[in-house]
Structure 1
Amino acid sequence: MNSIRLLISVLLCCLTFSAYSQQRQIKGILKTNTGKPVAYATVTVKSQNQSILTFKASDVEGNFSLLLPDTVKITELFIEVNYLGYKKSVTPIAQGKVSYEILMEEQVIDLSEIEIKSRPRTRSSGDTLSYDVGSFAKGEDRTIGDVIKRMPGMEVNESGQIKFNGKDISNLYVDGDDLLDDRYGVGTKTIPNGMVQDVEVMQNHQPNKVLKGKALSEDVALNLKIKDTARLKLAGQIKVGAGLPGQYDEEINSILFNKKYKMLNVLKGNNTGTDLAPELTAFNQPGMRSNLGNSRPSPLLSTGTVGVPELPTNRYYFNNSGSLNANNLFNIWNGWQLKTNASLLVDKNKMDYLSVNETYIGQDTINYTEQQYIEKSPFIADLSVRLEANKDKYYFNNSLKLGYNKQMGRGALLNNNLNMGQYFKSQVADFSNRLQYIPAISKNNVISLNWYLNYFNNPQTLNINPGINADVFNGGLAYKGINQYVETPTWFSNASIGVRFSKGLIKQNYQFAVQNEWQELNSELRFNQIDGQKTPYIGNPDNHVEWTRHQTYLNSNYELKKGKWETILSLPLSLQYIAYRDSAFGLSEKKNRFLFNPSFRTKYYIQAEDYLSANYAYTNQTGNINGIYHGTILTNYRSLEANNAILQEQHAHNFGMNYNFQRTISMLYINAGISYTKATSNTIASREITNNISSTVLLPYTNDVSAFSASAGFSKYVFALGATTGVKASWGTTRFNQFLNETLLPYKNISFTIQPSIEARLWDQISLKYEGSGSWITSNPLNSTSEGNQYSQRIRQSDQTFSLGYSPVKNTFLRFSGRHQYTSQQQTEDIRYFFADANIRHRILKWRTDIELDITNLANIKAYDTFSLSANQFGYNHYNLRGRMAVLKFLFNL
């Protein structure tokens, strides 16, 4: 109750200093003494300390119009006009005067003293920042993704996900249309940069027109503004590539972006190590479920305990992959759209690795050695069909999605000198439909109707031959093998109705929802005996859990905006009923819970482009079916998991502060933030580890976890060097507990990471790119004097990549890339690697063809070692790599 009173007090304080945001308009015209208009001059409003409040270019007639917040003192501002060939003009802004006629005086310029450079161009209009693609593009660029990486303030990770000034983008539009349905990675890797006029960053983006001005938003979206000439015809590309040893890389795509019809269809195939699966991944899948619980449990079975190395996939991914990505959007009539997104992935890949894991308990060290060769054959198919109308008076959307994901794996594994074969199969069936209707019932008020329905199942099978660990699994008797089966069929429904009132000082939104969840967890653990019989695990019976969760949910949301302040208070209340039973264990529980999850966010605009924000959230969460089953499941060849606890419940306090700074004219972007989380749970995972098997049981003990982190990012375009520079840094500490062999081990982990980067064109023919990453990780016991907490671990890592480009003649591009990695760990030798690649490309404009030779791993490195560190566990992994490859590609532009 004290925290609630404090939250209400903070809200009242904010309300005291908040009201509606009003803006003043300053307009005028630029002309010479002869009456000639001065077009495209930069008009800037500045304060006395030279801070920029807003700016805009004059139009072709010399007119300009600027918006100013009413919180600033007009008499302390002035209008500054700069334009080549004219003297700088400074005009004070007078109280009550809104229209200005500014006379510009021409100035003779000595051209011999001017160094002409192609300056990248950006412009700002309200919350939209536009990057001129042509001024950022280089001759060697092929797709719009190549150019976005070079834009200051932008980040693009290896999967293709984009951030602007530290924030993930919520949508990527093509000429205002959401063609790719949040799977925009294929778009940035396919759309030629020559088709795009501008990359528009839309801050505080509200995608639904009917909610504009009625609901606050912090989303950031990108829009690719297509050139007029590119809208008129079909474009595309055919790529044919072949090389050694036995390599192929093929692609065909077709692109059309006009007002009536948009399409982006891509067919790919390769065995060069390029993983096509990320192009089928949604980066910001809309939240269909409430934050009160997640109905989709994580997969339970796997073939091993080792992940992939932190390298590009073309180093270690032995594959034969093919994919189809078809995206088609039809503007049918009067603002209605029909969109289809279909994807298909067929793949066969293999991985060969060795893993050593050490766990320190008291004076003992438990070792696991795992050597595995595994082949996987995923088959993924997805289809979505959306009918949408986004209008000023209403928003309508019906989205139907079908998904099928089949994963098959087969491999040979050696564990602690024990040979075995494994077969894994997983089949995901996923169906969902979302219906959303938001009509305006008056000028300021809207209602919203939503219904989301989902069916999901993921049956999994893990077979192991021959029988292993007979003393643990089969009473010491020899046997042939193990078969583990598990499935979690799930039905989920969420229906809601809401009403929003946007008139008055405080915008109000009330939503009532009913959420229903029906789920089962069925598992069978069988042992194939020598006489042909299949017997169950002697430890306990199989799982046949029936689970239901029903919730009624009322959310009251209050939004306030006045002057430089924005404030949002959310007060969600829910009544939750959970029932689960499994007759084999005499398990029959019913829980009623009243949950309150308030959240509060406030933002203060220091300048037009700078703001400081703070947020707080208190969350009550309950577990799902994965936390209450009592029958043992063999999740992998050496891990048994079960539960012996009540339903998991967790409450957490989350606090954060962020500072966002940007200067569009100087292309400077800075972000910084801190966050703190304190979570308390009523259960803790207890692990029992021996030299052959690991058993995990969820126990009913209070468990506290706390985490604090701080991060900052800087990005700047240096005009003198023609370079985009940046640096990111983060520091974090986490305190947590783990139960290991009946011993409670409290630990504290600390990590620090710094990532500098620069991309510059040194001369017209030479370019340089550098990206670095350094990290320091320590893991310490909180009580170093108690038995078992005497181990402290430290790892230092650096990863540096540089790329040198050279264009000896027009339309010929050479590039050499190198990557150096260094790892230092206590009591082991340091590890160093240097990878090198080369690429040469020649463009034949007459034939609209590129010829490219790509050589990877020049040093022919065929093995790679890594360290991992977590509390009192130390891991060493050894991977086999692909070795040297050379591929010759022909790219025909249609």
Structure 2
Amino acid sequence: MKKLLSFIFVLAFSLIVFAQKTVSGIINDADGKPLASASVTIEEPGKNAILAYGISNAKGEYKVTFTSAESNLDLKIKAFNQKPVTKSIKNDDQKMNFSMDSQATEIQEVRLKTKLITKRGDTISYDLKSFENKNDRTLADVLKKIPGIEVGKDGAVKYQGEPINKFYVNGKDLMEGGYGTINNSLPKDAVSKVEVMENHQPVSILRDKVPSDQAALNIKLKKSVTMTGRGEVGAGFSPLLWNVKLTPMFFGQKNQWVINYKANNNGESVENEGNLLGFGSRWEGRRSQAGQKSWTNIETAGVPNIPEKRYLLNNVHYFSANLLTSPFKNKEWELKANASYTNNSITREDIQTRVYQAGSPTIESGGTFISSTNNKFFDNVAKGELIFTKNAKKGFFKNVTTWNSFWNTYRGDVDNNLPPLEGSTTSIRNMANESLESPTGTFQNSLSTIIPWKEKLVNFMSYIKYQKDRQTMTVSPGSYMSRFGFQDFDTVTQYANSETMEVNHSASVGLSYKKWTFTPEVGLNLSFNNLKSAITGSINNSSYYLGTDKQNNVDWNEVRPYTQVGVNFKSQNFNLNLTLPMNFYGITYKDNIRQDYLDKSKTVFEPNLFASLDFASFFKIWAFANQSYDFGNFGFLYGGNMLTSPTNIQVRYSDNVEMPEYLSRMAGTRLEYRNPLNNLFFNVRYNYSTNKRNLIESYATDGFISRLALEAQENTNRSQTESVEVGKYFPKFKTNLSVNASNTDSNSFSKFNNIFGESTNSRQSLGAKFNNAYFSWISVDYNISMNWNKNTNKVFDTVLNSSGWNHNLSTYIYPSENHTFGFNWDDLSTSASGENFRNSFFDISYQYTWVKRKIDFEFKWLNIANRKVYETVSVDAFQQLVTTNQMYIRPSQFMFTVKFNFK
């Protein structure tokens, strides 16, 4: 595998240094006027293959870069109502101007044949009709089949392996990053084509000045005013099952809206569709996915690495509404309002077996220990957002106000077989009831505006965030944690309350000179945080504080003024973005109970670079590099003991601990090839990173109960990754095929039971995707992925190998226009230390389609074999530990569903 990847990289990068030639010039008509949109192609004589191509701009200018070993080439020019030109040229750099003669085109018969993929500038357009099969119903169903595009279960889209930054419908960004709902619910029949806009800068006023390394998606509908949507209603049994999806949508020229209600107990986490999947440009301000600060948690059962429909025991109700409108006559201004609410309950259960080899640093005598966990999670999440935007070529304004609230309750019943106490040879069995109450409230406001001032652009940004978390974990009986000294209590409770206030302000000025843009910027980032926590014990409903060593009252405050210069260069083929910041970090840590105080004041240089070069028409090479410092964050240090879980107690401060200082460096490159003429795409990647740290986390564990502390000890982690992905669409056979491979080598340092050591990991993966709809009566989708891991403990010179593979086969048979028979096969396997587990799942379906009304009646039988447990095995070379996990999953179930479009 490593030799293969090395060969691919050598081959790929040799293309870069291979001699490239450029021909450029101006194309005029017979009257000497510039000809726009004339196509210029370079071909090798006698071969029906285009080496490179270009399109003339409004001034008639063209430029084509090509690579060839031939001494002479053919240059061909075509333009509407002009006589084609063919000229033999030398394989050399040259400038050539052309004058084309008029030639009227007589059209006697017109036959329109839509091209599968077309490219114009940085925009690649896909004809959706060419990629769909008869069983596809939504936009996401078809996007999965387009070469170079990946779609996640939540609707998240990646292009060439990277997340997109925007998702537009008819050029409008209704969802503001939470586009999963549209992707999963927009009927494919409403879409005419999908546009991938490479190097997309979402801020209009910056498009010719500040480049971007991300792509965006624009969904072009068949009608400029479209009322559409998707709905499903289903019921089933084993146990009683139900599923409701109602998502009406409206897309107009002035207004757009989406209303979404989805509820089920059949194993689909529809609430994730509302997550922020794309974050736009930094110039739009700051947005983040709201989350809770986790100080403590109950023990949780494992989650299997299989499709969630096979294991997720849920009961979810998710409602969301998104509105976009232009409130003024000036359509440049847009108002967006978004709201959502989730009520969800989830059940999980597993049995875990830990086997320690003799000589393990954790349990020297070795042994086998079994535990089981049964959880119930109850989530209530609400969100509201108002967005006011003006995104015009003469100015930019965006203000985003967001409210988030969480009311979560978790329950756990645990039965553990524990290692014996010191001096004993008898293992201990303990059972516990655990609960966690976890409410959180957040408020965020982000403002960014760009104002033209003469030939300059002035940008002001402001961000304010306030968050309050309150967590209460209770464990009963107290003897469950006797190793922490809590054996005398009926219950033990961990309280944790925290508050965070964050304020960021910045101002910058953009100065342009020809193709260069320089952006000096100054800013001030402030963060004020407080944590209060305490462990209490209860006897006969009377609570007792357990001393100041079980309490915390900690302040963590940061003041970070900075100054930076952004350097941007944008030309037709080359983009450069270089950020040169000088950041001053002023961080203080104060323990108000123990009167401990630490501070860190340091000025550091944290540059960031990305650059891209288009060459030979279809190739693009990227380069990335950055350096960053990490001086810790809120919660990194505290001096009182805290139960981060019932089996883990932590104290993160001691007399010899200093403030953290981690230095990370990363460099990487990516080579892309995108040829819409022959439907071939590939990308090759290389990344190397280091993380130099001055502290290490030291664990003391008996295999189940663990204590953590920080110690001053320098260590450096390294990671190196190579990967390649190739995709090809064969239109003649209606087949899409892609192959990917990767190799990652990394190391890490850790300290267990006073033993400091290094572990290395080598991981290889190989995967392939295939779908075919050549025959009108059958379609096939197949995915396979394989991985191999080698985990080495350098302290004990032990090596543990593991591997796994999984594949999915989905095939549909269409005996007539109304009937569809489906078969699905998931097969997953893991292997380690002589243990092998294979998990196979089979599903069948039948669908009757009322073609005139576009309504589907579907019957599904899932998990025909009625497998109820999913089994995996994993290894830890440092602890010389093999862990097997049996996770309870959904049994065999039957579902009847009616699916329909709203219009």
8 Å CA contact retained: 2:660, 2:695: yes
Tell me what 1:33 maps to.
none
Q: Letter of the 1:53 partner, please give it.
A: A
1:844 to 842, 850, 853: 850
Question: Does 1:675 find its partner at 2:687?
Answer: yes
Contact 1:296–1:456 under 8 Å retained in 2:
no
Asked if 2 retains the 8 angstrom alpha-carbon contact of 1:119 and 1:719, the reply is no
In structure 1, C-alpha distance between the alignment counterparts of 2:763 and 2:386, rounded to whole Å: 44
Q: Which amino acid aligns with 2:235?
A: A
Which residue is 1:45 aligned to?
41
- C-alpha contact 2:186 2:230 (8 A) present in aligned 1: no
Q: Within 5 Å, which residues of 2 pair with 1:324-723?
A: 324-333=319-328, 334=330, 335-358=332-355, 361-362=360-361, 363-365=364-366, 368-416=369-417, 417-443=429-455, 445-469=456-480, 471-474=482-485, 477-504=487-514, 506-530=516-540, 532-537=541-546, 540-561=549-570, 564-644=573-653, 645-723=657-735
1:97 matched residue in structure 2 = 97
SS of equivalent residue, structure 2 residue 272: helix
Cα contact 1:24–1:70 (8 A) shared by 2: no
Name the counterpart of 1:805.
Answer: 812
**Amino acid aligned to 1:468:** S
Matched, 1:205 2:200: yes
Higher deviation after alignment, 682-691 or 521-530: 521-530
CA contact (8 A) 2:250 2:256 kept: yes
Greater Cα shift, 509-518 or 405-414: 405-414
> What is the rounded CA distance, in whole Å, between the counterparts of 1:571 and 1:670 in structure 2?
32
Using the alignment, how far apart are the partners of 1:401 and 1:513 within structure 2? Answer: 23
Residue 884 in structure 1 maps to residue 895 in structure 2:
no
Structure 1 pair 719/95, CA: closer, same or farther in 2 (3 Å)? Answer: same
Partner of 1:216, secondary structure, is coil
Counterparts of 1:212-231 in structure 2 under 5 Å?
A: 212-228=207-223, 231=224
One-letter amino acid of the structure 1 residue matched with residue 260 of structure 2: V
Counterpart of 1:7 in structure 2 is: none
Alignment of 1:187-266 (within 5 A): 187-228=182-223, 231-245=224-238, 246-266=240-260
Does residue 816 (structure 1) correspond to residue 817 (structure 2)? The answer is no
Residue aligning to 1:858: 864
Residue 425 (structure 2) aligns with: none
Task: Say whether the 8 Å CA contact 2:297–2:473 is kept in structure 1.
Answer: yes
Alignment partners' CA distance in 2, 1:825 and 1:454: 46
Counterparts of 1:3-82 in structure 2, within 5 Å, are 26=27, 43=39, 45-48=41-44, 51-54=50-53, 68-69=62-63, 78-79=75-76
Aligned position for 1:825: 832
Determine if the alignment matches structure 1 residue 793 to structure 2 residue 804: no
Shift of residue 711, structure 1, vs aligned partner: 0.8
Give the drift of 1:69: 3.2
2:760 alignment partner in structure 1:
748
* Deviation for aligned residue 1:538: 5.4
- Structure-1 residue corresponding to 2:8: none
Q: 1:257 to 1:888 in 2, by over 3 A?
A: same
Q: CA deviation at 1:177?
A: 0.9
- Map 1:747-786 onto structure 2 (within 5 A): 747-783=759-795
Who is 1:11 aligned against? none
Which one is further off, 237-246 or 317-326?
Answer: 237-246
For 2:761 and 2:293, the matched residues in 1 are separated by 25
Measured in 1, the distance between the counterparts of 2:191 and 2:356 equals 54
Unaligned runs of 5+ in 1: 1-20, 30-39, 110-115, 784-788
SS in 1 for 2:453: coil
| 3-state SS in 2 of match to 1:194 | helix
Q: Distance in 1 between matches of 2:291 and 2:234?
A: 41
Cα deviation, residue 719, structure 1: 2.5
Matched position secondary structure for 1:180: coil
Q: Which residue of 2 aligns with 1:3?
A: none
Change in CA separation of 1:615 and 1:233 when aligned onto 2, cut-off 3 Å? closer
Structure 2 CA distance for aligned equivalents of residues 279 and 824 of structure 1: 33
Deviations 1:343-368 (A, max 9, x none): 11111121111122345634443655
Runs of 5+ consecutive residues of structure 2 not aligned to the other structure: 1-21, 31-36, 418-428
- Larger mean Cα displacement after TM superposition, 749-758 or 463-472: 463-472
How big is the shift at 1:801? Answer: 0.7
After TM superposition, the score normalised by the length of structure 1 is: 0.88
The verdict on how the C-alpha distance between 1:327 and 1:561 changes in structure 2, with shifts beyond 3 A counting, is: closer
Q: Pick closer, same or farther for the CA change 1:70–1:820 going to 2, 3 Å.
A: closer
Residues 689 and 224 (structure 1), Cα distance of their counterparts in 2 relative to 1, 3 Å cut: same
- Describe the shift of the 1:526–1:309 C-alpha distance in structure 2 as closer, same or farther (beyond 3 A): same
Q: 1:176 to 1:48 in 2, by over 3 A?
A: same
Task: Answer whether contact 2:117 2:127 (CA < 8 A) is retained.
Answer: yes
Question: What is the CA-CA distance between 1:272 and the residue it aligns to?
Answer: 0.7
Report the Cα distance in structure 1 between the residues aligned to 2:163 and 2:396, rounded to whole angstroms: 24
Distance, in Å, in 1 between the alignment partners of 2:291 and 2:823 is 45
The amino acid across from 2:414 in the alignment is L
Q: Point out the more displaced range, 388-397 or 867-876.
A: 867-876
Q: Is the 8 A contact 1:296 1:490 kept in 2?
A: no
Question: How far off is 1:372 after superposition?
Answer: 1.2
Whether the aligned pair in 2 keeps the contact of 1:549 and 1:576 (CA below 8 Å) is yes
Shift of 1:516: 0.6
Q: Conserved in 1, the CA contact under 8 Å of 2:750 and 2:758?
A: yes
Alpha-carbon contact 1:474-1:537 (below 8 Å) kept: no
1:32-73 residue CA offsets vs partner (Å, 9 max, x unmatched): xxxxxxxx9x945125485543357x9xxxx99986338779
Q: 2:786 corresponds to which letter in structure 1? A: G
Structure 1 window deviating more from structure 2 (45-54 vs 99-108): it is 99-108
Q: In 1, distance between residues paired with 2:355 and 2:104?
A: 76
For the residue of structure 2 that corresponds to 1:146, the secondary structure is: helix
Identify the residue that residue 142 of structure 2 maps to in structure 1: 147
C-alpha distance in structure 2 between counterparts of 1:467 and 1:117, whole Å: 77
- Deviation larger for 298-307 or 194-203: 298-307
Alpha-carbon deviation of 1:883?
A: 1.0
CA contact (8 A) 1:295 1:490 kept: no
Does the C-alpha gap of structure 1 residues 118 and 802 become closer, same or farther in structure 2, counting only changes over 3 Å?
farther
Residues of 2 paired with 1:870 and 1:157: CA distance? 30
CA contact (8 A) 2:432 2:480 kept: no
CA contact 2:352–2:883 (8 Å) conserved in 1: yes
Choose the corresponding residue for 2:268, options 269, 274, 277.
274
Secondary structure of 1:763 counterpart: coil
Shift of residue 781, structure 1, vs aligned partner:
1.7
Deviation at 1:603, TM superposition (A): 2.7
Aligned partner letter, 1:814:
F
1:793-832: per-residue Cα shift (whole Å, max 9, x none)? 111101011111110001322211101112221132x211
Q: What is the SS of the residue equivalent to 2:483?
A: helix
Instruction: Mark the CA change 1:514 to 1:164 in structure 2 (over 3 Å): closer, same or farther.
Output: same
- Aligned partners of 1:254 and 1:816: how far apart in 2? 30
Q: What secondary structure does 1:679 align onto?
A: strand
Contact 2:613 2:620 in 1 (8 A): yes
Distance 1:555 1:584 in 2: 39
Give the drift of 1:565: 3.8
Residue 472 of structure 1 deviates from its aligned partner by 2.6
Q: Report the counterpart of residue 181 of structure 1 in structure 2.
A: 176
